[in-house]
Structure 1
Amino acid sequence: MSSTRLGTLLGSTVRQQRHLRELSQRQLAELAGVSQTAVARIERGERAPSIAVLEALLAAMAVQLVVGVEPLDAHLDARIAELGAKPLAERIDELGLDRALDRLTDFPQVITGSTAALLQGAPVPVDALEIALRWRDSERFTRWLERNYGQRWNARWGEFGGVWLEPEKPGERRWSTRYGEIRATMCDELPETIEVRHGGRSYQVVPLVELELTEPRAGELLRRYRDRQLASEG
């Protein structure tokens, strides 16, 4: 389990237990003796809590953590199966994709990565809008980020913020914005795309065959999805 995934799981658990008890973040923070800011960051998965803080939060809600193990990345198979049972329109809506795209009008871009795979019907997990944009549009993208409360992922701190926004600067090209997380692939020229339509809307996306060749993360998810299909047919 990666620390990022573990932090997300722990945050979701704390949030779920808090909601079950109809507690506000401030109320839980006071019961556990931590700050409300810490609770908020933990629940968003931006900060992995220490064992002591996690135990305090759970104890304040009269529960405790049970630790178990499972085959590496088994959660992905479960997530793919869960997504496969949902209508595509529902998955697009949950991502807030249209809202973000309606505001990304300052520079040309195309949809790539897992987001492009989703729009082509593959039930793969998507946790950010993934786009490809040209290096020469980098300055316009940076100005857009500045206007929309952009914060770049800081791998050293394990959270967004505290590093340069510009894509030219070293680091992962992922940003938190007022419209959700955006991940960018920078290129000299935009890749070839195909058009897909959903709900009366048109999207320019990188084809699945190209995603498998050029996008390692999306390619691995697509191969996992295909393997599941073959196993079920066998």
Structure 2
Amino acid sequence: MPESSRLATDIAAILRRERHVQRLTQRQLADRAGVSQSAVARIERGERVPAIPLVERLFAALGRQLAVTVEQLDSHLDAEMDALAGRSPADRLDELGLDRLLDRLGELPHLLTGSTAALLQGAPVPVDAVEIAVRWRDSARFTAWLTVAYGQRWNARWGEFGGLYLEPEEPGEHHWMTRYGEIRAQMCDEFPEAIEVRHGERSYRVVPLVAVELTDPRAAALLRRHRQRAVDGRTPDIGPTARTGR
């Protein structure tokens, strides 16, 4: 078994979600299951597939049990994209809380990038956080905003938000939870060429899809899958209304 796999990642995500739903800390879940807090943390980091008896024990402590099935490779992504393709961009943007977060960013210079930029340009890709590009020279302003927004940084070691310095210069993923929602940052020396897209009464400055695919492996993989599905006739191709500009 490889050191990490989608199965390990899925188990980690489901365990975190169920624990958060029940408002339990890792320590509280560990006490319920009669295991160590470090064991819970290891599983939630998703670094490797854990022992099945341990996983069953943790889910039982949450009143849950695992169900095992098989499916076509990565078919979960196809199913998710099919579901997203049937939803309006306005609904998805509202669910993401994009406008509220952008309004709170105020004068902080930024561009929308990653899967958020792809969504705004018509791609039905999953988006779980607002993704922005921020220049390194604006790092101090970004840190000040995160402080005001009660930001907590993603701690990959513990599989939770918190316990790390907010500053982007400090080690750790550029991923924070704030009072306005989750935000990921792609730190850069200079902004790439931007385009402007419009939804409803609002315009958004975004990184073009070509640049997204070159700079964001996570979003690039989803976009390649989306385009292949369009070639195969399984989903409509991307067709944003956009104009170029700085």
Please give the alpha-carbon distance, in whole angstroms, between the structure 1 residues aligned to 2:175 and 2:234: 37
- Residue 94 of structure 2 is aligned to residue 93 of structure 1: yes
What letter is aligned with 1:109? H
Change (3 A) 1:171 1:125: same
Kept in 2: contact 1:106–1:141 (CA 8 A): no
Bigger mean CA deviation after superposition, 90-99 or 3-12: 3-12
Tell me the residue number matched to 1:69.
70
Tell me the residue number matched to 1:145.
146
Query: 1:74 offset after TM fit, Å?
Result: 2.3
Which runs of 5 or more structure 1 residues have no equivalent in the other structure?
19-23, 36-41
What letter is aligned with 1:133? V
Query: 1:3 offset after TM fit, Å?
Result: 3.8
Query: 1:191 offset after TM fit, Å?
Result: 1.4
Query: 1:53 offset after TM fit, Å?
Result: 2.5
Please give the alpha-carbon distance, in whole angstroms, between the structure 1 residues aligned to 2:58 and 2:105: 39
- Residue 3 of structure 2 is aligned to residue 9 of structure 1: no
Q: How does 1:133-172 map to 2 (within 5 A)?
A: 133-172=134-173
Deviations 1:139-175 (A, max 9, x none): 1111111111111111111111111111011221111
Kept in 2: contact 1:106–1:144 (CA 8 A): no
Please give the alpha-carbon distance, in whole angstroms, between the structure 2 residues aligned to 1:3 and 1:205: 33
Deviations 1:70-93 (A, max 9, x none): 344321111111100111111111
Kept in 2: contact 1:194–1:204 (CA 8 A): yes
Please give the alpha-carbon distance, in whole angstroms, between the structure 1 residues aligned to 2:97 and 2:45: 23
Which runs of 5 or more structure 2 residues have no equivalent in the other structure?
1-5, 34-39, 236-246
Tell me the residue number matched to 1:174.
175
Tell me the residue number matched to 2:58.
53
Kept in 2: contact 1:55–1:65 (CA 8 A): no
Change (3 A) 1:88 1:192: same
What letter is aligned with 1:209? V
Deviations 1:117-151 (A, max 9, x none): 00011000000000001101101111111111111
What letter is aligned with 2:58? V
Q: Does the residue aligned with 1:221 lie in a helix, a strand or coil?
A: helix
Please give the alpha-carbon distance, in whole angstroms, between the structure 2 residues aligned to 1:145 and 1:186: 15
Q: So what's the TM-score if we normalise by structure 2? A: 0.76
Kept in 2: contact 1:112–1:205 (CA 8 A): yes
Tell me the residue number matched to 1:103.
104
Root-mean-square deviation over aligned CA pairs = 2.9
Report % sequence identity: 60
Deviations 1:34-92 (A, max 9, x none): 49xxxxxx9xxx7889621311322xxxx643222334432111111110011111111
Change (3 A) 1:78 1:10: farther
What is the aligned length? 210
What letter is aligned with 2:204? Y
Which stretches of structure 1, 4 residues or longer, exceed 6 Å deviation after superposition?
46-49
Bigger mean CA deviation after superposition, 120-129 or 205-214: 205-214
Tell me the residue number matched to 2:239.
none
Q: Does the residue aligned with 1:232 lie in a helix, a strand or coil?
A: coil
Q: So what's the TM-score if we normalise by structure 1? A: 0.79
What letter is aligned with 2:101? A
